[in-house]
Structure 1
């Protein structure tokens, strides 16, 4: 199939891109791994396509002591190879297939806001944020926390005329460990369910623990389980009880791939394993 007709724009700088988005109602093209199939299947029919791949500065990939800044045109594969953040790297290895990761972008995956995708869950569990820019007589920028960015299935806080220019993934604290586990029918498919976890261990004791689920709700389901295991050694933290909290927070639905009951069961199993793995890594980093 072929896409419906559209006007193509290829701005060279951020100001031009934002002025174009302010003037037309169109879609942004970065990696295109979600947008192009939607166009071809006539699930989307924008009158304008704004290609941001030539915009200078959007390919930034910067690591600091606070975390990692990922620009809007950074490819999955580039971020994966750079290994700038342990949890982000783990998640990227689970995204689709290498040929998709060679073109798909990290920020594009966040804006697409698929609740079955890995990267929204990573941003959510880390309490990261997305930077949005628009033209209002000049470049105007605002930042949106992950908790407010994902507003529904395939829906984000990006408003008409805005461009997501970067995402920030906070660094793990000292003694922080992470894990990402999922179950898919085939490697590269969207997961039936998945869980990523971040656990902090200080002085041999768990001080914080969070988990985020994919595929079991309209947005990434984030659960703070710190109170259930804080103050205990990782091997005595009662991860089964913490995993039960994650399982109970899941909101899965039946579909042709799996029942809601099966997905909820998977979340519990994966949460316990992910929390254990993250705690083990945190203990090793904090030693």
Structure 2
């Protein structure tokens, strides 16, 4: 919770202070409502959610309530209401658990894998990493650096190897050794390139078709700084792959952390983890209540 609170500082500073000013002014006229609407848009919480909050504020005013601190609670309740409509994450059954990390270049996939491996290991799980971005030597080297930091092993092959073959070797090894979790790093060339999506689909076909009893899923990593542009990226991955969860990175470096809300709502996929810094421990499970509290209090 402390990391999330710290990570959302820029968004909170943009949102909470001005909200307090609007709601404690002793009046609330149409200009104030327009200011509130612009403020909510600026935090990137989405058109639908913004309109929902504005409608509730108008209802409160029509009921005879004046502008008071309870309006902050109204905003909080509406944000939670939107997120509670998102289908909850269900961890698939099977051993090992195979998490294929996907996303475009630059969103922080490899560092997210490193942080997740540290988090899972701290929970007492055994972890193996698969270096399936075989077209960039830097990607493999970076993954090995994170593995050294967190004390886990990496399965890798030479540059240019078939990513599905690397994934198969890693999962086969994990199954033989009783490893709990395999995290698969993947390439992230532009999502508009059909060959990337086919490469990712092949990983799932090979693993699902040749290794029985595993639990395989995709987690999509998104950079919070992308704002609404994240949707176009995310839609392609969610359409083509079995994406069961989202990881939002770099929440600490954006004033638009509200993107957490519309990304989940529009994709129908929950945010599972939030990255809030560059350190190994700067990631934590995402919780709706903690998020809204860190955003508004």
- Greater Rg by CA: 2
Structures share a fold, TM > 0.5?
Answer: no
Please give the TM-score of this superposition, normalised by the length of structure 1.
0.21
After TM superposition, the score normalised by the length of structure 2 is 0.20
* Greater length-normalized contact order (CA 8 Å, ≥ 6 residues apart): 2
Q: Between Structure 1 and Structure 2, which shows a larger proportion of helix residues?
A: 2
Per residue, is there more strand in 1 or in 2? Answer: 1
